[in-house]
Structure 1
Amino acid sequence: MDRPWLDPALDVEARIDALMAVMTLDDKVGQTHQVANINPYEDVEALRGGRIGSSLYASGATAGNERDEGVLAGVIDEIQVLAGESRLGIPVLFGRDVIHGHRTVAPIPLGLAASFDPELVRLAAENAAAEAVVDGIAWTFAPMLDLSEEPRWGRVAESFGESPVLASRLAAAATQGFQGDDPSRPDRIAACAKHFVGYGLSAGGRDYDTVSVGENTLRNLHLRPFRAAVEAGVLSVMAAFNDVDGMPMHAHRHLLRDVLKGEWGFDGVVVGDWNGIGQIVFAGVAADDREAARLAIEAGVDLDMVSGAYLAHLADLVRDGEVDEALVDDACRRVLRMKLRLGLFDGAAAPGTRPVGNEPTPESRALARRAAVGAHVLVRNEGALPLGDEGSVLLTGSFAHEGDVLLGTWVLDGRAEDVVTPAAALTERLGDRLTVDDGRFPDRTLQLARLADVTVALVGEHPNRSGEANSVSDLRLPPGQLDLLRTLAGLRKPLVVVVYTGRPLDLGEVLDLADSVIVAWHPGVEAGSALTDVLTGDTGPHGRLPMTFPLSTGHIPTSTHQRPTGRLIRADVDHREGRYADALTYPRLPFGFGLTYSEVAYAAPQVADAEIGLESATTLTVAVTNTGDRPCREVVQAYFRDPVAQVTRPLVELIDWSVVDLAPGETKEVTFEVSATAFAYFGADLSERVDEGEILLMTGPDAARLQDVSLRITGAEVRP
């Protein structure tokens, strides 16, 4: 065979070797160059010359905020034909932001995280991949794994929340969903773990801002979800826009090349973010794009997203002796490896080989509905919910008839007409018991509320207030909404408030005014169906908060990352009465919080063994009882605290959880397997270690309502 790299009988590395042996330096650089929205009519020579390795389809740098015309699969086919006519016949890799669905849009990732259901996240990603492939997409820039404790930052909507354990498990689930066991299958696409690393700590919650953090905190918190994705086989990792302690991540050799590629053994592609290499210049660390290209390739960025710095300068840098060609070889090999793993050389990208048809189906809608129900978190209920079988209901608010808005941020291919609106779903369920009002005229809304037995008010954020480049300085509801709620509450009639949002908000006054409050995030195409299920009790609420809700904007950061300080903190006193002269300090709604339509009592936790060694494990057991008169689904949570360690450790840290269904009056014992390695952390010298001594294991319904039991670890271990 004159092109052995096209022989599927050879293994991946042998095919790469055969191809690299005939590639020129310019060919290799071409594979490291990514363009935006490639045009087969304008870029013919570049394609036939092998100078474009990949392309993304997006409306621009902040594509989550602006829709484009969609992916034209026929154009992608034309491009692949042109690429096949090049000297080496290397296919082009096409990427697009398929963040929480393609045509069938699931809740935003923060809403998916509220389900505490990795299998649900896996299935949602699997469905998104199958739909995206139809349009010629082979690569998505998801999941986003930035740990988020800064709700002013708009991109928390794309995250899985603040907990390393929750985010890590959902990272692995999403990776598995997008890629499956065989990424070359016709219904799979490559995943991308982003943004590596620390982006969730951007100063002031401002997008693209600087990050001041030490490596110990990165290793003990922020790197953990990325490592989980790497261990799950993620094919690519995206560098973050931010710097880390003064070094832009696109030039951060230690974290990218030494830790990610070296220590972890990641053999996939490190891709830059949009113009991320060019932004090294903006950060003042490089004088021009040529220097930025050198810094980025040395740091370990394999693929240059749209800056053009690699195509313009990388070959000359090698010829001038400023960059070792081995670095370019390594980057090129990684890009080729990803293409081969995706089956692009074996016809996966060939015209006519892809599946057809990706409109929402009954099956995909059922999955989206299940996910949307899981995203609904009941955070207050003084008897207004579930809605009874009798009585009139007013549904009011600007979200009542909305379709597009309820899809949330970073939806490139979902369609407003596919969305089941709250008004449509509730009208079908309640019939003439329901009156719908869009809330444009508050005086009219007030008149209708006087006539209704229950008012359901839909409030919250437009998705353009969350996502990239949409940070806020104030976490209260957008202007005008609280005024209406105050007026409705003044009627002294049952008031249910549903909050659609992409971030935790300051809900203090909302919780005081309303009888019942639901945080629904932005729930996707089945928004109205899920809301109806929850309001009526057809499916009880069981979502839990994946991020802490602060008392106010001024209380940020407030999260389970809080560690002990030099002053002794008593959980029953200091969090409530100290630290601020003008305010209390405890969260308004803690991580993991969420109510059901019943009540669950927790017994004291027990461990099977009072002490365990480094190589052994024990079981943590807690009995939970449904003391109410309705069935419920409870998310039983397990936490731990390491009271004495080499470095400060979180006051509480999620270690595991279990979702159980309880009939009225039913008691179930929930058991968690706990090994000594679960308490491993990185010490002062950045070695991973497990210490001898006491561990407090805790169980409860959320991070604030916990009972503990002591476990002793015997022996100690340090792993370099």
Structure 2
Amino acid sequence: MTDVTATPPTDERPWLDASLPVEERIDLLMTAMTLAEKVGQTHQVANIDPDADAAEIASGRISSSLYASGPTGGNERDEGVLVGNIDAAQRHAVEGSRLGIPLLFGRDVIHGHRTVCPIPLGIAASFDPDVAEEIGELAAREAVVDGVAWTFAPMVDISEEPRWGRVAESLGETPVLAGRVAAGLVRGFQGDDVSDPDRLAACAKHFAGYGLSAGGRDYDTVSVGENTLRNLHLRPFKWAVDAGVTTVMAAFNDVDGTPMHAHEHLLRDVLKGEWGFDGMVVADWNGVGQLVNAGVAADLREAAVLAIRAGVDLDMCGGAYLTHLEELVESGEVDVALVDDAVRRVLRLKFRLGLFERPYAARPGASNAPTAESRAVALRAAQAAHVLVKNDGVLPLDASPDGGSVLLSGAFVDEGDALLGTWVLDGRGEDVVSPGAAMRARLGDRVTVADGRFSDVTLQQARRAQTSVLLLGEHPSRSGEAQSVTDIGLPHGQLDVLRAVARLGKQVVAVVYTGRPLDLSEVLDLADAVLVVWHPGVEAGNALVSVLLGDIEPHGRLPMTFLLSTGHIPTSTHQRPTGRLIRADVDHEEGRYIDALTYPRLPFGFGLSYTSVEYGAPVVSSPTLPVGGSVTLTVTVTNAGDRPCREVVQLYFRDPVAEVTRPLVELTDWALVDLEPGQAREVTFDVDAEQTAYAGRDLTTRVDEGEIVLLTGPDSARLQSVSITVRNDS
């Protein structure tokens, strides 16, 4: 955006005086606005046309535009954002309208813009909010070159439903992980000051409960009580709000019969009231209009009433507000104060972004093509997302010239687009370093690279190689919005090839590209080593080779539970105790399933490195934890192997007796610890009573006196415990 004020302040437009506080500028502008102009500020269109929409823009009937190929834009590419169109439209708004209110332009910049980083589930696998912040900052810096001022990310929906394609966009199954990584992305997108020309407004979505869509079917209904919402699904949104996120998107789903676009209690009472969120709530694509489809509104007029009362400020691509709000206010059916509140929030965002000072997007000579610097960010992020889930001593591969022959085979060997993942609107396949290219560059004649189209050829090649590295997994078209599945197994045919290669008795490494947790039971049984690498972005090949050859140690951890089968859904760290005691070692005797055990194949937080790390028993500084105070927990971790590593030391807790049922284990903190071979380090966590807080039966937050069990270990299944007593000394 050009750093020039388009129209200097005058007595007629005092709100253009940038020296005034934002709220005072909003007051001045609101006083000057007609009801029709106010309503226009609540209306967003898709793919604005500066010529066809010129009159609507100049009359103040359009507030914002998003650029997308359609309502499920993450599944198909569009022509991209044309800065010339943005500035032409902006001129109509700034120079051709009565009030000179700039337009707000948004786009889905989810895990990178031109330089694409791992999908959000892969970002979460890093367990590193700093990596998330770096990705958000890079994405913002590139997106503003194309005129984007607002992104619809991060998605913080909590889900234990891998059939749901949108888990690819999620940040894991636990509130603390999702919340901290989301906060990192918000800081990266928005910076310390969202008016910085190189930053974007962020959007926490989808508020709320979207990850509970029935059967993993996108857009489906949600049956959940408010206690579960508060103790689980609302918490990462609160992290994002506390991090300063400027916008929140309402969810498509209903919550126990009330669609979120009409949910006055959660949007207006909780988000805006209880939490004090002063930003803008935006509808999802035609979310207001879909109240008619949901059967709670007879027509768009009634839908507009429900949504504005609920607290939806900006109507995305529906037109219900533009068509009906003015008349609804004049007839007395809608209080003008509701419209004023929505408009204030829209204007507040525009002022905070500095759009009144810098409305135009053009940056002559600027480029957002990948650079060495941006690729370095993408490489670090992709490496951090790699999760080693099995290794029978095969990895790392010998990188020396006489290290033996390697076959790299599978549909992904020379892919570009397929490794970018879902919701990539501006990345380009030709920017991707493929696994084949990276492996050829590193191993030369030692490696045979083949796409594996013919299984008999693959077997011949595998027979000649010392080690076969098979690239398995799903194409990104199988994940993302409206891409749910009924079976979380590998796509058809891949296991057949793996079985055949494994029967040769040679070393087999399986690399899994995926947008969701998959049933990897047979893969884990057949392969000597297994890496889960998600969809890693433009540095896919370089990241993979650096891990396979041991240039860096794998240090990602699973942000979602990997189940034994589709039939085990849902299983996660959300499990709460029931009236019948559950013990993992004997639950098959307790009538859980008659045909299978119930424990996950790979638990939340699981991940290996190329060394072994030993954990001592946790020790607390005091057996009592005063309400309002804290204790320290210390655990000694020792690298017992001969390679360095980064260990993700995890802290969980369990509340044995509470007013409502609580999780059997709940992640509350973690630490990233670098260990040299043979090194032991004491890792200390500060634990305060507020970390044990939860919403009770009356939905208010409480901290109970009594026993709390703290547990430390490398993942949610391998834990050692120590008990403390929470006590109110006041």
Q: Unaligned regions of 5+ residues in structure 1, if any?
A: none
On the 8 A contact 2:659/2:697 being kept in 1, the answer is yes
Could you tell me which of 53, 62, 69 is aligned with 2:63? 53
CA distance in 2, matches of 1:28, 1:62: 29
Q: Which residue of 1 aligns with 2:113?
A: 102
On the 8 A contact 1:186/1:354 being kept in 2, the answer is no
Q: Unaligned regions of 5+ residues in structure 2, if any?
A: 1-9
Q: Which residue of 2 aligns with 1:559?
A: 572
- Once the two structures are superposed, residues 642-690 of structure 1 have per-residue CA deviations (whole angstroms, 9 ceiling, x without a partner) of 0000000000000110111111111111110101111000000111000
Q: Which residue of 2 aligns with 1:678?
A: 691
CA distance in 1, matches of 2:588, 2:532: 24
Q: Counterparts in 2 of 1:171-182, with a 5 A limit?
A: 171-182=182-193
Asked if 1:306 corresponds to 2:317, the answer is yes
Asked if 1:614 corresponds to 2:627, the answer is yes
Asked if 1:28 corresponds to 2:41, the answer is no
CA distance in 2, matches of 1:215, 1:165: 19
Q: Which residue of 1 aligns with 2:410?
A: 397
CA distance in 2, matches of 1:112, 1:492: 35
CA distance in 2, matches of 1:497, 1:568: 37
CA distance in 1, matches of 2:549, 2:591: 41
Q: Counterparts in 2 of 1:255-654, with a 5 A limit?
A: 255-347=266-358, 349-352=359-362, 356-388=366-398, 389=400, 390-574=403-587, 578-654=591-667
Shift of 1:715: 1.8
On the 8 A contact 2:83/2:362 being kept in 1, the answer is no
CA distance in 2, matches of 1:74, 1:604: 62
Q: Please, which moves more after superposition, 567-576 or 228-237?
A: 567-576
CA distance in 2, matches of 1:417, 1:568: 55
Q: Which residue of 2 aligns with 1:37?
A: 47
Shift of 1:418: 0.5
CA distance in 2, matches of 1:664, 1:354: 51
Per the alignment, do residues 178 and 435 of structure 1 end up closer, same or farther by CA in structure 2, a change over 3 Å counting? same
Asked if 1:203 corresponds to 2:214, the answer is yes
DSSP-derived class of the 1:498 partner: strand
Per the alignment, do residues 222 and 495 of structure 1 end up closer, same or farther by CA in structure 2, a change over 3 Å counting? same
AA partner of residue 469 (structure 1): A
Asked if 1:153 corresponds to 2:164, the answer is yes
Q: Please, which moves more after superposition, 567-576 or 83-92?
A: 567-576
On the 8 A contact 2:201/2:247 being kept in 1, the answer is yes
Shift of 1:384: 1.3
Could you tell me which of 129, 136, 140 is aligned with 1:125? 136
Shift of 1:399: 0.1
On the 8 A contact 1:689/1:716 being kept in 2, the answer is no
CA distance in 2, matches of 1:227, 1:578: 38
Asked if 1:3 corresponds to 2:16, the answer is no
Per the alignment, do residues 576 and 662 of structure 1 end up closer, same or farther by CA in structure 2, a change over 3 Å counting? farther
DSSP-derived class of the 2:714 partner: strand
CA distance in 1, matches of 2:119, 2:664: 29
CA distance in 1, matches of 2:612, 2:45: 55
- Once the two structures are superposed, residues 393-439 of structure 1 have per-residue CA deviations (whole angstroms, 9 ceiling, x without a partner) of 00000000001110000000000110000001111111110100001
Shift of 1:171: 1.4
On the 8 A contact 1:145/1:225 being kept in 2, the answer is yes
AA partner of residue 37 (structure 1): N
Asked if 1:242 corresponds to 2:253, the answer is yes
On the 8 A contact 1:575/1:586 being kept in 2, the answer is no
Asked if 1:76 corresponds to 2:86, the answer is yes
CA distance in 1, matches of 2:566, 2:242: 36
CA distance in 2, matches of 1:611, 1:22: 60
Per the alignment, do residues 25 and 434 of structure 1 end up closer, same or farther by CA in structure 2, a change over 3 Å counting? same
What TM-score do you get using the length of structure 1 for normalisation?
0.98
CA distance in 2, matches of 1:352, 1:99: 22
Q: Which residue of 2 aligns with 1:140?
A: 151
AA partner of residue 215 (structure 1): E
On the 8 A contact 2:42/2:342 being kept in 1, the answer is yes
Q: Please, which moves more after superposition, 567-576 or 335-344?
A: 567-576
CA distance in 2, matches of 1:595, 1:353: 46
CA distance in 2, matches of 1:501, 1:3: 53
Shift of 1:383: 1.4
Q: Please, which moves more after superposition, 398-407 or 610-619?
A: 610-619
On the 8 A contact 1:576/1:585 being kept in 2, the answer is no
CA distance in 2, matches of 1:415, 1:298: 42
AA partner of residue 470 (structure 1): Q
On the 8 A contact 2:634/2:684 being kept in 1, the answer is yes
On the 8 A contact 1:216/1:682 being kept in 2, the answer is yes
On the 8 A contact 1:692/1:716 being kept in 2, the answer is no
Q: Which residue of 1 aligns with 2:3?
A: none
Per the alignment, do residues 540 and 682 of structure 1 end up closer, same or farther by CA in structure 2, a change over 3 Å counting? same
Per the alignment, do residues 576 and 46 of structure 1 end up closer, same or farther by CA in structure 2, a change over 3 Å counting? farther
CA distance in 1, matches of 2:343, 2:609: 52
- Once the two structures are superposed, residues 363-396 of structure 1 have per-residue CA deviations (whole angstroms, 9 ceiling, x without a partner) of 1100100000011100010111110131000000
Shift of 1:351: 4.9
CA distance in 1, matches of 2:301, 2:501: 61
DSSP-derived class of the 2:32 partner: coil
Shift of 1:354: 7.8
AA partner of residue 20 (structure 2): L
Q: Which residue of 2 aligns with 1:710?
A: 723
On the 8 A contact 1:134/1:354 being kept in 2, the answer is no
Per the alignment, do residues 575 and 201 of structure 1 end up closer, same or farther by CA in structure 2, a change over 3 Å counting? farther
AA partner of residue 89 (structure 1): G
Asked if 1:16 corresponds to 2:29, the answer is no
On the 8 A contact 2:146/2:361 being kept in 1, the answer is no
Shift of 1:541: 0.5
Q: Which residue of 1 aligns with 2:173?
A: 162
- Once the two structures are superposed, residues 496-524 of structure 1 have per-residue CA deviations (whole angstroms, 9 ceiling, x without a partner) of 00000000000000100100000000000
DSSP-derived class of the 2:356 partner: helix
- Once the two structures are superposed, residues 322-352 of structure 1 have per-residue CA deviations (whole angstroms, 9 ceiling, x without a partner) of 10011011101100000000000012x2254
Shift of 1:570: 2.4
DSSP-derived class of the 1:590 partner: coil
AA partner of residue 164 (structure 2): W
DSSP-derived class of the 2:192 partner: coil
AA partner of residue 238 (structure 2): R
Per the alignment, do residues 514 and 361 of structure 1 end up closer, same or farther by CA in structure 2, a change over 3 Å counting? same
DSSP-derived class of the 1:188 partner: coil
Q: Percent identity?
A: 72
Aligned-CA RMSD value: 1.1
CA distance in 2, matches of 1:570, 1:385: 34
DSSP-derived class of the 1:345 partner: coil
- Once the two structures are superposed, residues 151-194 of structure 1 have per-residue CA deviations (whole angstroms, 9 ceiling, x without a partner) of 00000000101011111111111111100111011100100000
Shift of 1:485: 0.5
